[in-house]
Amino acid sequence: MQPILKIDLSTEKIESFTIPIEFERGYLGGASLGAVLGSKNVKALAVKGTGKVPVFDAEAYAPRRADANRALKADAMTSMLSSLGSAGAADYFNYLGEQPKKYFSAGLLEGADNISGASVAETILIGKAAYHACVIACGRVVQLEAGEKRKGPEYETLVGFGPNLGLTDPATATRLGELCDRYGLDSISMSGVIGLAFRLYELGLISKQATGGLELVWGNAEAAAECIHLAVKRECLGQTLAQGSKKLAEHFGAPEEAIQVNGLEVAYHDPRGACHNQSDYFLADIGQVDASLGLEFFDRHAGVEKAANVARHQVFRTVNNSLVLCLFANVPPETMVELANAACGCHWSIDDLMCCGERGWDPESGAPTIQKLDELGLNWVGKVG
């Protein structure tokens, strides 16, 4: 019997951002799923089966799936992700001011151009990785100085353990990301907590005595690695780091310094570079533009007029999650409906799927869409479903 999921050491020590390890390829990050498993004394999950997943109309489904995969393989976004990985747009985000530097406190960082999919491809990339039957293969396989093949960093890990900490070396980000993987830690949250600690140290709110002698200065990769070890062991400053950004900032008297939503560290996209992210983060349940979804194009600096787009987009992504579709797969909504109908024997339209998405998303986010938009002071235009 093949184990498909297991928890690691960190789940016994950290309650806020631990993750289970998925044996097939990677790690399931965010939302402290590893801590949930650990709290129930679940060490691993194993599955054995011989049956097949039933498809309502296999004859209709199979050619539609084949056509969708061919179209996806020819898509420009697929080509970019396959060649450069999820960090393929990192240099563009840097140009827009969307890539955070020094824990969202700086706009420029010398050497930040090194943090990109192109830089990884030109220096340490030796192969690609993909889940079963994925035609995109955005996963990276890299080789560092020691010559050992290892999992390469995706965008969030590359930036979180890169410019976010004042670092600009993809190999360093790879090592720190791998350390998180070995401990079963979410790399976004862990690098975010460390970034906040560096920021509080810079502001004089965390003393050298509180760190046990560590100098939490920008660009100090050794200190970042030691923070990971301390958090897992809950020793010295790690006792507070293990509780996440919100509690770390509160502990040192600066709650306004923590970049978090509902206690969860945010992804590395600065809302000041892409202002729709402000409402995106606000509306998030846990912390593609398509006319068929009723989305409109606006100037990237537009404000309240993006509110309906944000709501519709998050509802559509809830549909994606429910259908277990990769967010990088640029599959047209019409194709999604055709595949879902053939697989399940339904007669849904895009509006029906969006209605399902809205029903699923509102309970998750803790408040109805309209209520949250009103709280943010944004205009709501029309009903999603």
> Can you tell me the distance from the alpha carbon of 272 to that of 266, in angstroms, rounded to the nearest whole number?
14
Mind listing the pLDDT tens digit for each residue in 286-304? 443 445 566 777 776 666 6
> Can you tell me the distance from the alpha carbon of 304 to that of 326, in angstroms, rounded to the nearest whole number?
29
Mind listing the pLDDT tens digit for each residue in 58-67? 999 999 999 9
Closest CA to 310 of 246, 243, 379, 241: 379
- Please say whether the beta carbons of 103 and 219 come within 8 A: no
pLDDT of residue 30: 57
> Can you tell me the distance from the alpha carbon of 292 to that of 314, in angstroms, rounded to the nearest whole number?
15
- Domains of the chain, first to last: 2-47 (no CATH), 82-260 (1.10.569.10), 276-376 (no CATH)
Confidence of residue 285 (pLDDT cuts 50, 70, 90): very low
Average per-residue pLDDT in the chain?
83
Is the pLDDT score of 83 beyond 70?
yes
Confidence of residue 103 (pLDDT cuts 50, 70, 90): very high
What is the Cβ-side half-sphere exposure of residue 156, based on CA atoms within 13 angstroms?
14
User: pTM of this prediction?
Assistant: 0.83
pLDDT of residue 290: 47
Task: Return the higher-pLDDT residue of 317 and 204.
Answer: 204
State the pairing for strand pair 264-265/260-261. Answer: antiparallel
Q: Which residues pair with 150 in a beta bridge?
A: 142
Is the pLDDT score of 138 beyond 80?
yes
Is the pLDDT score of 171 beyond 50?
yes
Q: What is the mean pLDDT of residues 125-153?
A: 90
- Torsion of the alpha carbons at 346, 352, 356 and 359, rounded to the nearest 10: -150
pLDDT of residue 361: 74
